[in-house]
Structure 1
C-alpha cells in the first residue's frame, strides 16, 4: 500500500513478540534438537536406520543421511518464516499465521529429528530400531499445538480509528439520513466437490494404511484436517453498521473489519494463484490479508495502520459501497444517535 505524502507509516505492532515467537523460539527449538541428537551420536548403531516401510526398517545409512535432510528442511523453513515474522505482520491475522507457522514447523522438525534418533538409541543394529509412528504423530501434534499457542500469543491489533475523510471517489450506497441496511452474501470455494473428493480419498487411504501398519493415529489427524478444510470452503460475508464480518462454515475462522477503521473499500477482481499464491486464508508479498476462495470479484478494504483486507465475494460492488457508507457514518454519528443494522439488501 502506498502511503500518501505527509503521512507516517505506523510501525509494525507487537514486533518484539513476533521476533521472539517467530524467529528466536524456532531457532532455539531446532538448535536444541540438533545439540541433543549430536550428544547421542555414540549411542546410535552404525549404520543407522534412515527409512522405514510397512515391515520395518528397509534402508540404512550414515548418521549424516539421517540428520541432514530434516535439519536442512528445518533451517530452510526457518529462514523464510523468521524473515517474514520480522518484516511483516501489520495485521493480527497475518502476524498470527506467520508466527504460528514458523514456531509450529520448527517444533515439528525438532520432534521428528529427535524422535528418529530416539527410536534407535542403544540398539545393537539399525534393523532393530523401533517404529517411528509415534514420533510422526507427536511431530504433527507439536506443529498444531506450538503453532496455535505461538499464534495466540502474537498479539491482537490495537484499535485504530480512522481520522481522515473517506475519499470522494470511493463508491457509496445512497441511504437516507436515518436509513440503515445490511448486505449478506455467501461465497463457496470453486470446485469444492473436487476438494472433498480428495479428502475422502485421503481418509480412505489412511484407514487402509492404518489397517496394514497399525498406525491408527493417521485417521484422527486426517479427520481433523478434513474438518479444518470444511471450515474454509464456505464463508458468510456481512456488511452492516458495525463494518464487515466474514465467518467460516462453523462460525470460525472469523475476519472482522470495524467500520471506524475503514479508510476506503473498492470492488476489484482477484486472480488467486497469481496474486496470493493459492486459495484460502492467505497473505501476499504486499502484506495484504486475503480471504480468497475463488477467482473473480472481491472487496478490497484499506484499513488504518496500513492494513489491507481482500475478500472474494459475489456482488462486491454493492458490498464495498455499503461499507464505505457505514464508514462515513462511523465518523459522523446518525442524527438520532442510533446504530441499528436495519433491513437486508436484496
Structure 2
C-alpha cells in the first residue's frame, strides 16, 4: 500500500501561502499608507538614534525579499511530502519565526514613521520584534502539528530472517533518547545568562523573547521518545511523531554498535543517503529497523536488543509460517 504524494497540503498552506501572504501584506500596507509616510525611512538605529536611511519603496521590497527568500525558503521545505517529516517541521518553525519577525518589524517601522516629515525623528520600538518572533513561532508549531508523513509504505508477508533476534513481547517498550533533563537545564541556563548579558549591553530586553522560542526549538530537536508496541516502532519529537513504521512493514530488526560522529557524522536525527535515517544520541547499541520500502532506521538505545526481539516476534506472530 502506498500513501505517497508529492506535496503536503498543510505544508503548502503554512510553508508557501503564509510567507507569500506576509510579503503581499508588506506591499499593500506600503501603498495604503504612502501618503502618511516620508519619502525615506530610518532603517538603522544606534543607541535609539536613526543613522541609516533608505527609500520607502526599496525598504518595502527588501522586507519582501527577506520574507520570501529566507522565511519562505525555510518554511517552503515543509510542502515537500517526501522529505523527512521532522526536518520539514523544524524548517517550518524556523521559517515562520523569521516571517513573523520581519512582518512585525515592518509594521513597527511603519508606525514609527507615520505622519513624520523627518525620518531622523523616528523612534522604533523593539516590542514588535519580540511579538513577531513569538507569534511566528506559534504559527509554525501549529502548522508543524498538521504535517503528515506521506512517504511510500509497503507491507511484506515474509517473516524476518531466523538469524535475527527474538524475545518476549512485553509491550509497550518506551525509552528516551537525546538530552536529559539535567543537560537541558544547564544548556538553557547558559543560554539565558548569555542572552541577559546581551540585553543589558543593548539596553533592551526584546532578545529574551527571541531566546525563548529558539531555545525551545533547539532543545525539542535534541530530545526524543522511542516507542515499540503492537503497532510497530515510532519516534516522537517535540510531542509529535517524527518517524513511524508499522509491524507489517518490517523486513527485519537487528542490533548494531554505533558511534554517532564516526558512523553518522553527527548527533541527533541524521540521514546517511536516501532512506537511511538515524536517531543517534549516544555511543553504544542501536536498533536497526529495515522496512519493506527499502528505508532503514537506526536508533541508539540501551534497550536495542529488547526492542529488536519484540519487533521480530510480533512480525512472526502476524505472518503465516510457510513464508518463513
Given the alignment, which residue of 15, 18, 21 partners 2:14?
21
Q: Does 1:291 align with 2:284?
A: no
- The Cα of 1:319 is off from its aligned counterpart by 3.6
Structure-2 change in CA distance of 1:13 and 1:280 (3 Å): same
Q: Does 1:187 align with 2:180?
A: no
Q: Which residue of 2 aligns with 1:50?
A: 43
- The Cα of 1:145 is off from its aligned counterpart by 1.7
Unaligned runs of 5+ in 1: 1-7, 334-346
On the 8 A contact 2:268/2:281 being kept in 1, the answer is yes
| CA–CA distance in structure 1, aligned partners of residues 60 and 198 of structure 2 | 26
Q: Which residue of 2 aligns with 1:329?
A: 317
- The Cα of 1:9 is off from its aligned counterpart by 6.0
Partner SS, residue 11 of structure 1: coil
Q: How many residues align?
A: 316
Q: TM-score, normalised by structure 1?
A: 0.68
Query: Which shows bigger deviation, 22-31 or 90-99?
Result: 90-99
| CA–CA distance in structure 2, aligned partners of residues 99 and 226 of structure 1 | 16
Q: Which residue of 2 aligns with 1:3?
A: none
- The Cα of 1:69 is off from its aligned counterpart by 4.6
Structure-2 change in CA distance of 1:111 and 1:318 (3 Å): same
Q: Which residue of 2 aligns with 1:76?
A: 69
RMSD of equivalent CA atoms:
4.4
Q: Which residue of 1 aligns with 2:195?
A: 206
- Trace 1:1-346 onto structure 2 (pairs within 5 A): 10-12=3-5, 15-53=8-46, 55-63=47-55, 66-77=59-70, 80-81=73-74, 84-89=77-82, 93=86, 95-155=88-148, 162-168=155-161, 172-175=164-167, 179-181=168-170, 186-189=176-179, 199-211=188-200, 215-219=204-208, 221-223=210-212, 225-227=214-216, 229-246=218-235, 252-253=239-240, 255=242, 257-267=245-255, 269=258, 271=260, 279-281=267-269, 286=274, 290-294=278-282, 298-303=286-291, 309-314=297-302, 316=304, 319-331=307-319
| CA–CA distance in structure 2, aligned partners of residues 172 and 51 of structure 1 | 64
| CA–CA distance in structure 1, aligned partners of residues 307 and 21 of structure 2 | 46
| CA–CA distance in structure 1, aligned partners of residues 64 and 277 of structure 2 | 31
**Post-superposition CA distance 1:75-103 (Å, at most 9, x none):** 22356446634443466545544555555
- The Cα of 1:140 is off from its aligned counterpart by 0.3
Structure-2 change in CA distance of 1:108 and 1:323 (3 Å): farther
Unaligned runs of 5+ in 2: none
